Chains A and B, each alone.
Chain A
Amino acid sequence: MAGIGGKSGESASSAFAPIRAWLIAPTWLMIGFFLVVPVGTMLVYSFLTKEFRGGVIWEFSLAAYDRFIFDRGLFGDEPPKLELTYITIFARSIVQAAIATALCLIIGFPTAFYIATRPVSTRAIWLFLVTVPYWVNLLVRTVSMKFLVRESGPLNTFLQWTGVISEPLQIINTDFAVQLGLFYSYLPFMVLPIYASVERYDFALSEAAADLYAGKWTILRKVLLPTVKPGIIAGCILVFVPSLGAFLAPDLLGGAKNFMIGSLIEEQFKGNAGNWPFGAAASMILLSMVLIVLLFYARRQSVRAGA
């Protein structure tokens, strides 16, 4: 992977190579022992026979994956067709999470940039201002967001008072409400990583570009954004991935009319269905999808670092 020319500037980045194993070991131990082992169990479960009303029977079975892919009708005895239900649910969750991530980025990037360009002494205050609301429980926050945007709520009253709209906006129980809820659930997870990157940005680079008569927005696009990209990517991962499995915003703001990945999987473990192997299989499919994207990203990162 490492390019041949990767010498001078990059060689310093392995200053801690001799002890890297020690540095990463605690992570390996904690996650390896307390998560990989349990998740491995789940992987095994996804290939077992379901026990009625929760639990598994130790017999190999592909029924869980079969159910994900093939539609055999209401009574399970029709010739198999391609099952679209779960693909639809996955696609819906991905779209909602993507829009929420975009909203977070649109609002979060300027905020992070603004905070990072404040005087050093006030930056910490701004950071805390972004995280203070998160001391209030997610459920309470989501319920109050719902209160704000309901048909006869403050937002509609205000907009009608200003004359912007004549009829109240129907926001709750729509897709937009879900996106808004996800956005509100995870906003700081976008702002903080971007802040950490922009704070390190050397504005001499912008000045140099300005001296070459580059416009402000060109500088932003061509100089600043590429430099702070790691922060933006970290933020997007931290918003997008948890949004995929979120259940509170879809339930409370979206009206729970349609399953999302999170509620579908939860139904298998906590609902009437009690189909653990299917819940495990759906999780493994989700896990491998995200894993492939992340590994692709990690590989590109290390290729770039090496070249």
Chain B
Amino acid sequence: MALASRNIRKYPGFFSMTLLCMVLLYAPLAVVAAYSFNDSLSITRWGGFSFRWYLDVFFGLEADKFRDAAWNSLSIAFLAATASTIIATAASIGMVRGGEFRAKPASFALISLPLMVPEIVTAVATLIFFSAIGFVRGYATILVAHIVFCIPFAYLPIEARLRGIEGTFEEAAQDLYASRGQAFRFVLLPLMAPGIVAGYLLAFIISLDDFIITNFVKGAGIETLPTAIFGAVKQGIKPNILALSTLMLLISIGFVTISYFVSRKGVKPGGHGAPETT
């Protein structure tokens, strides 16, 4: 039986597809990393090995601007992903565990709305709206706009996960006199964790990458990485952008390594669907 169950988890070709997926994901990044060491101005012609673009990122003329931009992007992505994941988790419980109610399809449409409106329309419309209500553009306007469009990206994976969890779990907990809060905290939340992690990660990367909306709602003196990069590209992409991108990769790998060691402490071996603290 043990042998059979191991087989059932394995499909021929799935591992090669995963490998292919990883190659496709990382091959372009290898190019980015390689050409960040290019000694010439070009990103397409190799001109010898050099660290000059890394020096440029840290000490060059635009160093402060890019550092501030990176900080804004990361902090906004962190805050927007956190806020939208919390909002989306609550909403998914209300939608999936809230029984039938008339406003359900409308609520679903509302949650998906940020996905459906073309970005440029959201951008212009939001700018008109913010100006009309006198919301001074700056860090806060970017954050609010990001939380709004991150919600569906966080919601959909969480909702899909929740649909796969049988209602009997919370019911059993409540039969044992757990309050609704306790049923959520100790039963539902751990079971939902992988969905929440997935939603959080998607919200994070979508916020980190946004250009069009940010470009319209940012105020004077604030840049995020995408607006800085799109602006810089007007003069042609220089390898300093590649060096910056490679550094971002290193930062993210740093986070992965840390969270790996943290999560290894937290996980008890063997549990089915055990919570991953990431």
Report A-B touching, CB under 8 Å: yes
Interface set of A (CB-CB < 8 Å, partner B): 1-2, 9-17, 19-24, 26-28, 30-32, 34-39, 41-42, 106-108, 110-111, 113-115, 117, 120-121, 123-125, 127-141, 143-145, 147-148, 154, 184, 187-189, 191-193, 195-197, 199-201, 203, 206-207, 210, 216, 219-220, 227-228, 230-231, 233-235, 237-238, 241-242, 245, 261-262, 265-266, 269-270, 276, 279-280, 283, 286-287, 290-291, 294-295, 298-299, 302, 305-306
**Of the residues A23, A107, A196, A262, contact of B118 by C-beta under 8 Å:** A262
Which chain A residues border B8 with CB–CB below 8 Å?
203, 206-207, 210, 216, 219
B98 A12 Cβ-Cβ under 8 A: no
Q: Are B124 and A139 neighbours in the complex by a CB distance under 8 Å?
A: no
- Contact B15 A124, beta carbon cutoff 8 Å: no
The answer on a CB contact under 8 Å between A38 and B129 is: yes
Query: What is the distance, in angstroms, from A301's C-beta to the closest C-beta of chain B?
Result: 8
> A210 CA to B272 CA in the complex, in Å?
21
B residues in contact (CB < 8 Å) with A: 1, 4-5, 7-11, 13-15, 17-18, 20-22, 24-29, 31-32, 35, 43-44, 87-88, 90-91, 93-101, 104-105, 107-122, 124-126, 128-129, 144-145, 147-148, 151-153, 155-161, 163-168, 170-171, 174, 180, 183-184, 191, 194-195, 197-199, 201-202, 204-205, 208-209, 211-212, 225-226, 229-230, 233, 237, 241-242, 245, 248-249, 251-253, 255-256, 259-260, 263-264, 267, 269, 271, 273-274, 276, 278
CB-CB under 8 A from A117, the residues of chain B are: 9-10
Q: Which residues of A contact B91 (CB under 8 A)?
A: 23-24, 26-27
Give complex CA distance A200, B197 in Å. 14
Separation of A134 and B166 alpha carbons in the complex (Å): 33
Q: Is the CB of B11 within 8 A of A200?
A: no
CB < 8 Å: which of A34, A233, A241 contacts B148? A34
Q: In the assembled complex, which residues on chain A have CB atoms less than 8 Å from the CB atom of B43?
A: 143, 147
CB neighbours (8 Å) of B161 from chain A are 196-197, 199-200, 231
Report the nearest A residue to B44, measured CB to CB: A147
Instruction: Given A16-B97, A144-B32, A270-B120, decide whether A192 and B198 contact each other with a Cβ distance below 8 A.
Output: yes
Q: A38's contact among B15, B120, B128, B184, by CB below 8 Å, is which?
A: B128
Dominant secondary structure at the B interface: helix
Assembled-state Cα–Cα distance A121/B245 (Å) = 29
Most B CB atoms within 10 A — which of A154, A241, A245? Answer: A245
Q: Which residues of B contact A124 (CB under 8 A)?
A: 197, 259-260, 263, 276, 278
A193 to B90, CA, bound (A): 17
Provide the residues of chain A in CB contact with B88, threshold 8 Å: 27
Residues of chain B within 8 A (CB-CB) of A35 are 113-114, 117, 122, 126, 148
Residue of A nearest to B158 (CB): A196
Which A residue sits closest to B17, measured CB to CB? A110
Task: Name the B residues within 8 Å of A216 (CB-CB).
Answer: 7-8, 11
Contact of B25 among A114, A115, A133, A265 (CB under 8 A): A133
Knowing A199-B273, A200-B164, A261-B118, say if A138 contacts B10 (CB, 8 Å): no
8 Å CB contact of A12 from B105, B168, B256: B168
Query: Which residues from chain B contact A132 at a C-beta distance below 8 Å?
Result: 249, 252-253, 256
A residues near B13, Cβ cutoff 8 Å: 110
- Which residues of chain B have C-beta atoms less than 8 A from A42's C-beta? 121, 124-125
A121-B263, A207-B4 in contact; A14/B242 too (CB < 8 A)? no
What residues on B are CB-neighbors of A106 within 8 Å?
17
| Smallest Cβ-Cβ distance to B14: which chain A residue | A110
A128 CA / B27 CA spacing, docked (Å): 17
Complex: chain A residue closest to B208, CB-CB: A135
Chain B residues contacting A238 (CB-CB under 8 Å) are 115, 152-153, 156, 202
Q: Pick the residue among A9, A24, A220 that contacts B167 (CB under 8 A).
A: A9
**CB atoms of B129 and A196 under 8 A apart:** no
Residue in chain A with minimal CB distance to B91: A27
* Contact A14 B99, beta carbon cutoff 8 Å: yes
Does B202 contact A189, Cβ atoms closer than 8 Å?
yes
Is B90 in contact with A23, judged by CB distance below 8 angstroms? yes
Interchain CB contact under 8 A, B31 and A23:
no
Q: Which of B98, B116, B120 has the most CB of A within 10 A?
A: B116
- Are B110 and A12 in contact, CB atoms less than 8 angstroms apart? no
Which among B31, B109, B183 is the interface contact of A148 at CB below 8 angstroms? B31
Report the bound CA distance from A124 to B265 in whole Å. Answer: 13
A23 partner, pick from B98, B129, B148, beta carbons under 8 A: B98
Q: Is there an interface contact between B194 and A200, defined as CB atoms closer than 8 Å?
A: yes
**15 cross-chain CB contacts under 8 A:** A32-B110, A38-B129, A39-B121, A42-B125, A110-B18, A129-B25, A137-B245, A139-B233, A196-B160, A206-B9, A261-B118, A286-B116, A286-B118, A291-B109, A295-B109
Task: Collect the chain A residues with CB atoms within 8 Å of residue B153's CB.
Answer: 189, 238
| Contact of A115 with B18 in the complex, beta carbons under 8 Å | yes
Q: A137-B241, A298-B109 are in contact. List 14 more A-B contacts (CB 8 A).
A: A12-B166, A20-B99, A37-B129, A38-B128, A121-B263, A128-B252, A141-B29, A154-B31, A192-B202, A238-B202, A262-B120, A290-B115, A295-B105, A302-B105
